[in-house]
Amino acid sequence: MEGVAILEHEVRELIRRRGVDPVRDRAGVVALVTDAIADYDERSVVGAVPPLVDQVAVHKAVVDAVAGLGPLQRYLDDPEVEEIWINSPTQVFVARRGEPELTTTILTDGQVRDLVERMLKVSGRRLDLSSPFVDASLPGGERLHAVIPDVTRRHWSVNIRKYVVRAKALDDLVALGSMPPAVATFLNASVRAGLNILVSGATQAGKTTMLNALGGAIPARERVISCEEVFELRLEHRDWVAMQCRQPNLEGTGEIPLRRLVKEALRMRPSRLLVGEVREAEALDLLIALNAGVPAMCTLHANSAREALTKLCTLPLLAGENVSDRFVVPTVASAVDLVVHLDVDVSGRRRLREVLAVPGRVEQGVVEAAEIYATRDGRLVRADGYPPHVERFARLGVDLPGLLQGRV
């Protein structure tokens, strides 16, 4: 559309002259576009420029191009779209309710690069030959991951993960059908009792959403410190400090890895520690924090709750040759209290699949565990396991046997 191109050019020139920040001042951009369209309309009457067929559509297109993500903005605005990814300029995919679909959007290489650079402008992170991967948060809370050639074969690869539903509390997950009310009540009591909880699951199973919902059960008087690769958690806690990792600068210095954040968090008087995702040697620092008596919750990629325990026993060994499984395995057994495992069913719905109790015992080098809730015939039901630290529930005035039997 010729009119859109003319207006976009004029609005960009106005933004440059007036020093408007299109990312932080969207309202200012909207006002500029409105004035520019009014002026354009007057010129079109005398034939100076081609007339606009649909001013409303043109207004949105120009605002999206200047202050948004252009052709991708409509997917960000669509509440059903969960993720957007670009394999090549002619292959733009979205996921709705867990199902991927190829869109009709066609871009150019230049547009893809421009969109990524615009997204990174706010985050302060960079993407170049010396740093071909980037992980960053967008102003709206979306998570961006991009990779460039020659790590990819030819085209830039871009993923934008949206948070369609931000569960602020466990009741929100009940409303979404992710778990029964009785399980939510038990997990709420477990968080208030200060149990250490490991949230496991596959990619896109909803681990961060679950961690956020569990964080909503933390008592208001507690001080929460969170450590993440990029900001994803959205707690509404009054005493909360959020920290994220930092990439190295152009000289290769200044990097702040997750291990450093976990160590620094312990110096900040935390009542509760949240770690966005444990992938590598930071698992050792997490275990040390738990061993120091700081209640914590974290997420971990795994295919089952028991696999998550096994993985947590393995990851700390990456921290160095002096770290032995003779220390790690019993520490995991004594430090982790519950494993909450998530899965995605065939319809794409995220579901809580099992809740595992870790009583603190090790048998022949394996951490013992017992199922509190398990999936039977597609339903999450009560199993025969019992959580540790019964006395903590009693101090809260919680009738744990009645809670587990569904009487509370």
Give per-residue pLDDT as tens, 380-391: 999 999 999 999
pLDDT for 283 beyond 80: yes
Residue 54: per-residue pLDDT: 86
What are the tokens at 241?
């400090």
Q: Which residues pair with residue 343 across a beta bridge? A: 351
- Cα 251 to Cα 249: distance, rounded to the nearest angstrom: 5
For residue 111, the 8-state DSSP code is H
Give long-range contacts, CB 8 A cutoff, 24+ apart: 71-74: 71/105, 71/107, 71/111, 72/105, 72/115, 72/160
* Inter-residue contact 157 to 147 (CB < 8 Å): yes
Give per-residue pLDDT as tens, 310-331: 999 999 999 988 899 999 999 9
Give per-residue pLDDT as tens, 181-229: 999 999 999 999 999 999 999 988 999 999 999 999 999 999 999 999 9
Give the largest Cα separation in the chain, rounded. 88
Better-scored residue on pLDDT, 207 or 45: 207
Give me the mean pLDDT over the 13-38 stretch. Answer: 85
Residue 352: per-residue pLDDT: 96
Spatial strand order in the sheet of 91-96: 99-102, 91-96, 81-88, 157-161, 143-147, 133-137
Residue 359: per-residue pLDDT: 94
Torsion over CA: 234, 264, 279, 343 (sign)? negative
Contacts of residue 323, Cβ cutoff 8 Å, sequence gap at least 6 = 284, 316, 317
Residue 162: per-residue pLDDT: 85
Residue 1: per-residue pLDDT: 59
Residue 5: per-residue pLDDT: 83
What are the tokens at 369?
């565990």
Residue 165: per-residue pLDDT: 55
Better-scored residue on pLDDT, 222 or 22: 222
- Cα 101 to Cα 82: distance, rounded to the nearest angstrom: 11
What are the tokens at 28?
């200012």
Average pLDDT, the chain: 90
Rounded to the nearest 10°, the torsion over CA 17, 18, 19, 24 is -130
What are the tokens at 18?
């007036």
Task: Please give the share of the chain, as a percent, with pLDDT higher than 70.
Answer: 98
What are the tokens at 36?
């520019």
Residue 164: per-residue pLDDT: 57
Spatial strand order in the sheet of 350-357: 240-244, 224-228, 272-275, 296-301, 197-201, 338-344, 350-357, 370-376, 379-382
Q: Which fold has domain 170-405?
A: Rossmann fold (3.40.50)
Nearest to 107 by CA among 78, 70, 135: 70
Q: pLDDT-derived band of residue 407, with 50, 70 and 90 as boundaries?
A: low
pLDDT for 122 beyond 80: no
Q: pLDDT-derived band of residue 2, with 50, 70 and 90 as boundaries?
A: low
The residue ranges of every structural domain in the chain are 1-68, 73-161, 170-405
Note the CATH architecture for domain 73-161: 2-Layer Sandwich (3.30)
Better-scored residue on pLDDT, 118 or 374: 374
Q: Tell me the DSSP string of 38-99.
A: HHHHHHHHTTSSPPPS-HHHHHHHHHHHHHS-GGGHHHHH-TTEEEEEEEETTEEEEEETTE
* Lowest model confidence (mean pLDDT) among 15-24, 30-39, 70-79, 224-233: 15-24
Q: pLDDT-derived band of residue 7, with 50, 70 and 90 as boundaries?
A: confident
